Amino acid sequence: MSGGKKKKKAGETSDFPALRQFFSGYLHQDFTDEYGSALEAAKTFQRDADKSELAAIRKEWKSWRAEVENLSADSLASELRKLGAAWAPLNLATLDEVGQILEQG
């Protein structure tokens, strides 16, 4: 038995409850029908969320984003699915556009 800490994997949902709520609530399987795009979904969340929700998202986003920095598009999509998202960004630049919206305010 080892006394060391268990290594975290990107997207462990217990580490990111606010992101899980955002991704599953706004970037779900019908998000394009409801919002038109991931950017519009993020803008809607930004308008709907209270200060504590926005603070939690911003904190978790920074940590999670650092964890997924070097993932391929397929791996990134897999990590997003673990957090409840149906959205699969084509690249990190697209992901960062959503992040910029979440960090505003």
Residue-by-residue pLDDT tens, the chain, 105 positions? 444 444 445 544 578 999 999 999 999 999 999 999 999 999 999 999 999 999 999 999 999 999 999 998 899 999 999 999 999 998 889 999 999 999 986
Domain that holds residue 79: 15-103
Residue 2 lies in a domain: no
Question: The tokens of 48 are what?
Answer: 């709907």
Rounded to 10 degrees, the C-alpha dihedral 3/6/7/8 comes to -150
**Residue 4 domain flag:** no
Report yes or no on 8 lying in a domain. Answer: no
The pair of three-digit structure tokens given for residue 53, joined into one six-digit string: 């929700």
Task: Give the span between the Cα atoms of 40 and 101, in whole angstroms.
Answer: 9
Evaluate whether residue 42 is within a structural domain.
yes
Number of domains in the chain: 1
